[in-house]
Amino acid sequence: MTPGSPPPPPHGTLHTLRTLFPYLWPAGERGLKIRVVAALLCLFAAKGATVYVPVLYKHAVDALSGGAPGAVAVPLGFILAYGAARVLSLLFAELRDALFARVGQHAIRAVGLRIFRHLHGLALRFHLSRQTGGLTRSIERGTKGIQTLLSFLLFNILPTFFELGLVCAVLWKMFDGWLALATGATVALYIAYTLAVTEWRAKFRRQMNETDSEANTKAIESLLNYETVKYFGNEEHEARRYDASLTRYERAAVRSQVSLSVLNIGQAAIISAGLTLVMWMAARGIAQGRHTLGDFVLVNTYLLQLYQPLSFFGFIYREIKQSLIDMERMFELLGQDREIADRPGAAPLRVAGGAVEFRDVRFGYDARRPILKGVSFAIPAGKTVAVVGSSGAGKSTLARLLFRFYDVDSGAILIDGQDIRDVTQASLRAAIGVVPQDTVLFNDTIRYNIGYGRPGASEAEIREAARLAHIDGLIDAMPDGYGTLVGERGLKLSGGEKQRVAIARTLLKRPAIFLFDEATSALDTHTEREIQANLREVSQDRSTLIIAHRLSTVADADEILVLAEGRIVERGRHAQLLARGGLYASLWARQQQSALAAQED
């Protein structure tokens, strides 16, 4: 959590509002606070002018109906004042919106940025289990909900209640308490009915959100895996899965619309009954000589003026309620446990030579199924250690623990004698350069993807990294050179080209430690040998951990570790392990036979 940021909220409307408030009244932002105060003053001034407009109208009508000499000159003054009051009401309302615009947009930006940073701060465990489509929808709806909430709650609901209070006070003073009470009771009944029915309808909105996210997630996942869908001819299967989600959304949407009709009918009945009652009371007062024609016009104008925003109260309250639901889901993301966090007072990693040590490391993604069972080894500064073994032995888990995507259950991982749990994650990851098996590139240019290793690097540095990765000639041969777009996830490049871009990107980062996680396992033999030669060249004199399935790629390592069922069962150089005739020798023989069989085919 960043210093001074609001704490992650529990669930609920009040907690959602409490979480939002610090962004509307941001600490240290004096200019924004002044804007909030000025906007509120304009709000009250606008409503004050609005409430005074019918009073001026009443005086003009009374002057005209009196028929006294010179009466025409008197209402002219009231008419001019009436026009000025309406202009002032509009002017203050527009000033309010203009002043508060920056406050609202700043809040939306601050919330969005905090959630974005928090998501990147969450552990790999969260991102492996997330549903990207549903996650992005939650953030999109939540940030949009902030705008809706500010527009309706601050500039519609609260001003309407303020205006209602002023109107009731004026009616009480100018007429009697019964008329003011009838007006207030009508509004109170209207609001109570709206709240009760809207709360009942909220479950349908939640169902719509859930099914909408589910359908969106399935659609995105299916399109991202387009090739797999085609390989197995499962277009209709995917369509049925998508339609099942759309069907559930359809049912929830229909229920929501039906309940909306129930709400609108009840609101119309309450408003009509209240309007009829109050107008009858005012008309009876005129008939008894207690009120003037201007008073009748005043009451009628007040009611029409007041009920106009109230007629939208149901819609506005629904929008506010929906916005709160959407924001609540978004703010729940801030409550996600980071799992991997810097310890208080964590210092940056001090890299001397880049020596790495795994000391009796035990770990399991699930406590019921341990993966590593007491693994110990060291990578001396500038040396290369390779880890081999069958699938599921725990090889890639070593890489994830070194990069601190997870913390060990027991034991320790040290770099130059420092426990990686005691240093900042940023400094740790800055010291390690990773070339993964599945290189994912951004849908941007080759220049951007290489430069991603160190944002801000110069063009000369990017080209030098490409030269060291032996991809500069290939890039120069492309029509757009370094400006060539690589496509989504780099699909416009071959596997070997993507790996070379990944190597160049890692070289530009200038790490002290290299980590090659099955970096060539998905390539053909010829490309693998070329990439392997690149890796040996760029990793000279740097501590290097190679995780590999193909043993031919690690024959030159300073030490080879054979991992089986979470334990190191053999270790030594290539020739020593072959001479020992153990598991490594067996794996080597098996892979050599497979290679010969492939050549014969």
| Fold of the domain built from segment(s) 13-335 | ABC transporter transmembrane region fold (1.20.1560)
H or E stretch at 362: strand 356-363
Sorted by sequence, the CB contacts under 8 Å of residue 257 that are 6+ apart come out as none
In this prediction, the residues of the chain whose per-residue pLDDT falls under 70 are: 1-12, 66-75, 123-125, 127-134, 311, 314, 337, 489-490, 519-528, 531, 595, 597-601
List the chain domain ranges.
13-335, 356-431+511-600
CA distance 570 to 572: 7
Residue 134 and residue 333 in contact, taking contact as beta carbons nearer than 8 Å: no
Going by their DSSP bridges, the two strands 559-564 and 567-572 should be labelled as antiparallel
| pTM, two decimal places | 0.63
Going by their DSSP bridges, the two strands 513-517 and 543-547 should be labelled as parallel
Handedness of CA 580, 586, 588, 593 (dihedral sign): positive
**What's the distance, Cα to Cα, between the start and end of the chain in Å?**
58
DSSP string covering 458-512? -HHHHHHHHHHTT-HHHHHHSTTGGG-B--GGGTTS-HHHHHHHHHHHHHHH--S
Which residues, in sequence order, are bridge partners of residue 547? Answer: 387, 517
Give the angle 600-495-554 at the CA atoms, nearest 5°: 65
The confidence score (pLDDT) of residue 129 equals 63
Q: What is the pLDDT of residues 430-447, one digit of tens each?
A: 999 888 877 778 888 999
The confidence score (pLDDT) of residue 71 equals 46
The confidence score (pLDDT) of residue 151 equals 78
At residue 5, φ and ψ (nearest 5 deg) are -80, 150
Residue 53 is given by DSSP the state: H
Which CATH superfamily is 356-431+511-600 part of? Answer: P-loop containing nucleotide triphosphate hydrolases (3.40.50.300)
Sheet holding 513-517, edge to edge: 432-435, 513-517, 543-547, 384-388, 559-564, 567-572
The confidence score (pLDDT) of residue 10 equals 43
Handedness of CA 333, 336, 342, 343 (dihedral sign): positive
H or E stretch at 48: helix 30-66
Reduce the DSSP state of residue 377 to 3 states and report it. Answer: strand
The confidence score (pLDDT) of residue 66 equals 62
CA distance 48 to 199: 32
Q: Which of 564, 438, 550, 554 is nearest to 502 (CA)?
A: 438
The confidence score (pLDDT) of residue 462 equals 92
The confidence score (pLDDT) of residue 6 equals 42
Q: What is the pLDDT of residues 174-207, one digit of tens each?
A: 777 788 888 888 888 888 888 788 778 777 877 8
